[in-house]
């Protein structure tokens, strides 16, 4: 990333991002992902006195299109306060181990841990009432010790996947994908003024059917617009829509 941006990156130490919300629920995120991410980046720019910042924010929950499937949506953003612009990219994937379960026996605990790729992916243990016992559990010794102390069998244990990126390699991969998308956007520059982030701002539907020419729901053109000089480019697709998307050929 540093090379591509010709920039020197500083990773802020001791920057407490828990104040913007935690996955384990002690601090609820009080706004949507994009608002929270802007706040996280802008606060860091203030605290470390720099002009440009990149940050990420993940959201976990039910997949928006696939029923009964958990999803990870990663948002990454660059904010440049000197030139007054922001560029963001999102990556949505069902590749996540995000889940939780109430555990009653060691056998259940072992099954759960295996299913969520423990110990390469860390766990959080809570009481049944939701009080955090330990986060970032990354070895069997600690996990079994907690189960013993909690007197599993008499008491239940609530175990969930630790979604903090450094404890979750699957999430790390998703953030990497989102970051690649962001880099592609940043490095697409305006042909008129060379500003970074010459983004697609609008998609127009109506790609015509390859058999009968009727407009379909598929995208026929992309409109890119420069945030700085307003230069606009319309990219028309050359291909035609397959007939299965056509209301006439495939009603």
The residues binding Zn ion (CB under 5 A) are 190, 192-193, 195, 209, 211-212, 214, 226, 228-229, 231, 246, 248-249
For the chain, the first-to-last Cα distance in angstroms comes to 48
- The CA-based diameter of the chain, rounded to the nearest angstrom, is 71
Question: Cβ 194 to Zn ion, closest distance in Å?
Answer: 7
Closer to Zn ion by Cβ: residue 133 or 195: 195
Closer to Zn ion by Cβ: residue 60 or 85: 85
Question: Cβ 249 to Zn ion, closest distance in Å?
Answer: 3
Closer to Zn ion by Cβ: residue 41 or 190: 190
Closer to Zn ion by Cβ: residue 172 or 248: 248
Question: Cβ 185 to Zn ion, closest distance in Å?
Answer: 14
Question: Cβ 238 to Zn ion, closest distance in Å?
Answer: 18
Strand intervals (E) in the chain: 52-62, 70-80, 85-93, 100-103, 123-127, 132-137, 157-161, 199-205, 219-225, 232-236
Question: Cβ 244 to Zn ion, closest distance in Å?
Answer: 9
Structure tokens at 58: 């993940």
Burial label, 223 (beta-carbon count in 10 A; 0-12, 13-18, 19+) = middle
Q: What is the DSSP string of 50-119?
A: -SEEEEEEEEEEE-SSSTT-EEEEEEEEEEETTTTEEEEEEEEES-----EEEE-SHHHHHHHHHHTTTT
Closer to Zn ion by Cβ: residue 60 or 245: 245
- For residues 156 and 214, give the distance between their C-alpha atoms in angstroms, rounded to a whole number: 60
Closer to Zn ion by Cβ: residue 86 or 138: 86
Question: Cβ 231 to Zn ion, closest distance in Å?
Answer: 4
């Amino acid at each position: 990333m540093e090379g591509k941006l010709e920039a020197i990156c500083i990773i802020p130490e001791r920057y407490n991002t828990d104040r913007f919300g935690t996955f384990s629920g002690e601090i609820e995120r009080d706004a949507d992902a994009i608002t929270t991410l802007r706040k996280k980046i802008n606060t860091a720019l203030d605290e470390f006195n720099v002009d440009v910042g990149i940050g990420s924010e993940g959201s976990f929950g039910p997949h928006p299109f696939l029923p009964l499937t958990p999803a990870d949506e990663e948002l990454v953003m660059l904010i440049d306060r000197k030139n007054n612009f922001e560029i963001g990219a999102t990556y949505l994937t069902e590749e996540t181990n995000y889940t939780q379960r109430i555990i009653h026996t060691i056998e259940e605990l072992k099954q759960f841990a295996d299913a969520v790729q423990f110990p390469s992916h860390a766990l959080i243990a809570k009481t049944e009432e939701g009080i955090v016992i330990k986060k970032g559990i990354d070895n069997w010794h600690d996990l079994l010790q907690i189960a013993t102390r909690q007197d599993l069998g008499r008491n239940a244990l609530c175990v969930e996947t630790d979604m903090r990126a450094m404890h979750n390699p699957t999430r790390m991969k998703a953030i990497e994908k989102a970051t690649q998308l962001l880099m592609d956007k940043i490095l697409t520059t305006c042909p008129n003024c060379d500003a970074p982030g010459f983004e697609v701002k609008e998609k127009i539907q109506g790609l015509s059917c390859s058999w009968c020419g009727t407009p379909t729901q598929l995208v026929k053109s992309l409109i890119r617009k420069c945030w700085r000089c307003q230069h606009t480019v319309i990219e028309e697709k050359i291909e035609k829509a397959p007939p299965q998307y056509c209301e006439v050929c495939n009603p």
